[in-house]
Structure 1
Amino acid sequence: MLTANMAHVQDKLGSAFGPKVAFVSITVDPEHDTPEVLKQYAQDFGADLDGWAFLTGDPTIIREVGRKYGIFARKVAKGDVDHTFLTSLIDPTGTLRVQYLGVRFDLEEFRGDLLSLLDESK
Structure 2
Amino acid sequence: MKNTFKISLLLILIGTLTSCDFTKKDKIATAIYECPMHCEGEKTYDKPGTCAVCKMELTTMAEKEKLNGEISDLSIYNLPSVWTTQNNEEIELKELHGDVVVMVMIYTSCQSACPRLAADMRNIEKQIPADKKDNVTLVLVSIDPETDTPERLTAFAKENKMESDKWVLLRGSEANTREFAAVLAVNYKKISPLDFSHSNIISVFDQGGELAHQQEGLGVNNKETIAKLLELVQ
**Do they superpose with TM above 0.5?**
yes
Bigger fraction of residues in helix: 1
Please point out which of 177, 188, 198 is paired with 1:73. 188
Number of aligned residue pairs: give it. Answer: 118
Q: Is 1:91 the counterpart of 2:192 in the alignment?
A: no
Structure exhibiting the larger radius of gyration computed from Cα positions: 2
- Mapped to 1, the partners of 2:223 and 2:165 lie a distance apart of 23
Q: Percent identity?
A: 28
Please point out which of 100, 109, 114 is paired with 2:229. 114
Deviation of 1:78 after TM superposition, in Å, equals 4.5
Q: Which runs of 5 or more residues in structure 1 are unaligned?
A: none
Equivalent runs, 1:5-20 vs 2, <5 Å = 5-15=120-130, 16-17=132-133, 19-20=134-135
Aligned to 1:60: 175
**1:40-84 Cα deviation digits (max 9, x unpaired):** 111111014311111002111111111111111111134201111
- Mapped to 1, the partners of 2:143 and 2:222 lie a distance apart of 23
Aligned to 1:38: 153
- Mapped to 2, the partners of 1:48 and 1:110 lie a distance apart of 22
- Mapped to 1, the partners of 2:142 and 2:164 lie a distance apart of 16
**Contact kept? 2:200, 2:218, Cα under 8 Å:** yes
State the SS of the aligned residue for 2:136: coil
CA RMSD in angstroms, aligned pairs only = 1.5
Q: Which runs of 5 or more residues in structure 2 are unaligned?
A: 1-115
TM-score (norm 2): 0.47
- Mapped to 2, the partners of 1:79 and 1:21 lie a distance apart of 32
